[in-house]
Amino acid sequence: MSTVAQIRAAIKGVLQSVTGVGPVHDYERYAQDHAGMKALYFDAVSQRINGWFFYRTSSQRLDLDIGEVRALHTWQLTALMGLDDADQSGILFDDSIEAAVNAFRADPTLGGVVLATKDLERAGGPIGLQVTTIEPVMFANVLCHRAVCQLTTEVTETV
């Protein structure tokens, strides 16, 4: 049985293992102004906004009638990268998102913290990190690429 805090830490660890993702925040960060927001997601290596934040969006618990509960947690993960046409940032961003997808595929139990990064009862259902939206947005007064992703984690809890 893993706690939500342990799952959150494991998700953060997988994201941080991906080369070039920049800062990873395990909750949605806020600041009083654009400069503060930019600072939270600024990556010194790439010299641009380039980071992730994530949070849990839903949780469902199902009684297994054997003294255990099946817990499904859904997480929303958001990636941001400052747009720069000169260095083909759209391609860099797409490659970075795929690297994150591959990192979750390579570690479907998040280091043994969860049973799976999918709903085990849904045969043929989504597995691992799902990319739901990729689009340009204004973030901290900077034109950025944004990807919104979803991850389902499953654990059992003792009743």
Tell me the CATH number at 95: 3.30.2000.10
* Count of structural domains, the chain: 1
pLDDT at 65: 78
pLDDT at 26: 98
Cα 56 from Cα 23, distance rounded (Å) = 18
Chain-centre distance for alpha carbon 151: 7
CA 28-108-99 angle, to 5 degrees, is 65
Q: How far is CA 50 from CA 36, 102, 111, 127, 136, in A?
A: 14, 18, 25, 25, 13
pLDDT in tens, 92-150: 999 999 999 999 999 999 999 999 999 888 888 899 999 999 999 999 999 999 999 99
Chain-centre distance for alpha carbon 69: 25
Please compute the mean of the pLDDT values over residues 5-28 and round it to a whole number.
97
Give residue 49's domain range: 4-158
Does residue 120 contact residue 44 with C-beta atoms inside 8 Å?
Answer: no
pLDDT in tens, 32-88: 999 999 999 999 999 999 999 999 999 999 887 788 888 999 999 999 999 999 999
Does residue 74 contact residue 59 with C-beta atoms inside 8 Å?
Answer: yes
Does residue 52 contact residue 72 with C-beta atoms inside 8 Å?
Answer: no
Considering the entire predicted model, what is its pTM? 0.94
Cα 53 from Cα 28, distance rounded (Å) = 6
| DSSP code at position 159 | -
Dig out the tokens for 119 from the structure.
């709903």
